Structure 1
């Protein structure tokens, strides 16, 4: 199984200039190749694109500076464009599962910059990593690499930070689960309410959001193209990076814990795009990261031989008593505790929903939309007393 290991690097001022030149060349080759593909009626092969956008332009005066950087990232840029077009065509034809993929777009200087090196363009050492025509870059090793990397990608994010992302072969360590199953109900203030009674609160981003709001107002007042606006843009980008890293760390740790401890993980298929139409909750919903948590759990469950299940969004998990199965109907979101009028048990709204999600995910309760009825006759449903019709027939026989 292939995985990515990302580490922070600290290039020198000279190496930053070399990396900026490399990112610019990769961006120009991508944009030239994309422009060429749009002009042609048929998508050319990668070898033809490399000849049109790398080999021939190097001999001209306008693009002779392409020879100052390594040719490996330039060739990988053309190859990545071919993969982007392939994903787009397969998505439109229905051969690719999941959401529809948009066609590749032109790259901008202010966006995230990347350059990919394959074998022959880099070398891993004890404290540094050598990149072709860049030199040895100091790297912060937070953990050892499990195997020899097949490729490395140099990344510069919008906040001005530099990273190296290695592609390595990993053998996942499969641990025996502690619990047979778990159902998780996702929310805003309480991010995850588990069927085992555990509740995980969402991280507090309020202080960072207040700073981001203030810096965003200052950024809007800066003149476009000025140095002050560029400095303010970096401040806003760093705050966004802090929020993103905090959310990503929280979701990775929680998904790892859930997958390690449980054999069956059941989640509800939430209509996030529909929920975002609510103006009062759209920002909080988009910042929660529900879909990212679902993707992480699904990927890690596949790697660790766990069973990941998604129940229908139409399943009335908040409208059914988890003890007796009585359905009381829709209840306003402001109601957080419910007393069942059938069995008299008092339920917390989220705890009751998570318990129902686990029952449907495991199979103890059928999916509401799939079965069409909550009642189903089985062999165990046998009456002890004879029916009234049988008594009537016996009376007639006498």
Structure 2
């Protein structure tokens, strides 16, 4: 099993400068290879259809000597990332690869471990062409390091993610099944097979930090472009945004790990946040919630620990159907938080009823003997 471990790096000034240069070289190679592939494709269309062999990162070094200073494996991995992007495009699972922007793209590069070039010794991690860098190893691991991805945030903070090959986690079965309804009033409403319901409060991290973010943004707007004070204001704003992101991820990681630890079968509704964010009144709150990130974390954590994750079909009427008798009561507006079934007169809390219907969905699949798929079709 391959598992990633992410740690905070504390490089010296010289080491940080080298890491920034290597990140830039990896981005340059990615963009140059993409540009040349597009050119080759256009030339092949204009000629007899014969295609030239795409260049390699090494072929650019005579033309651009600064590439010789970077880690060659970082450049090779940039090419592999582009190859993967094209493979996904031709498979129809992603759009056409786009150029990486210096300001918008994720600042990172990946290098491989070759005979101990990446290792941990005396509280430091060794990286190729950089040497030993101080880092905060807040948790250990057992296994062989396969690769390392160095990344830099907008505020200039460096991290390293070590990909480790290790034995599979021991499978420890859990007792419960749980249905999870996601929302804005409460972030999650969870009901297990003992009919115990818990409502998780929505942390609203962005909303709580909005006043401080506005103040920092206005301070940045008043600074002269290109000045040192503007750079200081930019870093301050970036740090405040990172605090919001870190708080959101901390909340989601703790919640998803708790769900996986306590339940063998997890049922979640499939939401489409991008489409839902077309509602301008709710767009900021939907983006702040992070539903998609929670589902992503549940997917890989369920895989790690031998759990079953069921994603209900987007058209599954978890809110409209009565969890007591199964009668469909029709579409309900968002401001209706409680309702009474016209058939059996059961009174429902909207979110609790939805989580019960999701739980019943898993129970129906198990009782029918159809198995437990990762995602249900229509």
Alignment TM class, shorter chain as reference: 0.7 to 0.9
1:266-318 C-alpha deviation (Å, 9 max, x unpaired): 11222323211111101101111111211221222233222221222323322
Indicate conservation of the 8 Å contact 1:2/1:169, yes or no.
yes
Indicate conservation of the 8 Å contact 2:7/2:138, yes or no.
yes
Question: Any unmatched runs of 5+ in structure 2?
Answer: 45-50, 369-375
Question: Any unmatched runs of 5+ in structure 1?
Answer: 58-62, 373-398
1:23-46 C-alpha deviation (Å, 9 max, x unpaired): 233233223222222221268667
The answer on 1:113 being equivalent to 2:104 is: no
2:188 to 185, 189, 192: 192
Q: Output aligned runs, 1:82-161, within 5 Å.
A: 82-91=83-92, 96=93, 100-108=94-102, 111-120=105-114, 121-161=117-157
SS of residue in 2 equivalent to 1:149: strand
TM-score of the two chains, using structure 1 as the length reference:
0.81
Shift of the alpha carbon at 1:150?
0.7
Q: In 2, Cα distance between the equivalents of 1:272 and 1:70?
A: 39
Rg (Cα) greater in structure = 1
Distance 1:322 1:49, change over 3 A: same
The answer on 1:173 being equivalent to 2:180 is: no
Q: In 1, Cα distance between the equivalents of 2:2 and 2:243?
A: 27
Indicate conservation of the 8 Å contact 2:25/2:67, yes or no.
yes
Q: Which runs of 4+ in 1 moved over 6 A?
A: none
Indicate conservation of the 8 Å contact 2:82/2:97, yes or no.
no
Distance 1:231 1:168, change over 3 A: same
Map of 1:340 onto structure 2: 341
Map of 1:385 onto structure 2: none
Map of 1:304 onto structure 2: 305
Q: In 2, Cα distance between the equivalents of 1:327 and 1:38?
A: 53
Count residues in correspondence.
Answer: 354
TM-score of the two chains, using structure 2 as the length reference:
0.85
Map of 2:66 onto structure 1: 65
Q: In 2, Cα distance between the equivalents of 1:71 and 1:310?
A: 42
Map of 2:28 onto structure 1: 28
RMSD of aligned residue pairs (Cα, Å): 2.6
Shift of the alpha carbon at 1:21?
2.6
Indicate conservation of the 8 Å contact 1:85/1:103, yes or no.
yes
Distance 1:89 1:198, change over 3 A: same
Q: Output aligned runs, 1:1-398, within 5 Å.
A: 1-41=1-41, 48-54=55-61, 56-57=62-63, 63-91=64-92, 96=93, 100-108=94-102, 111-120=105-114, 121-170=117-166, 171-179=168-176, 181-195=177-191, 196-205=196-205, 206-363=207-364
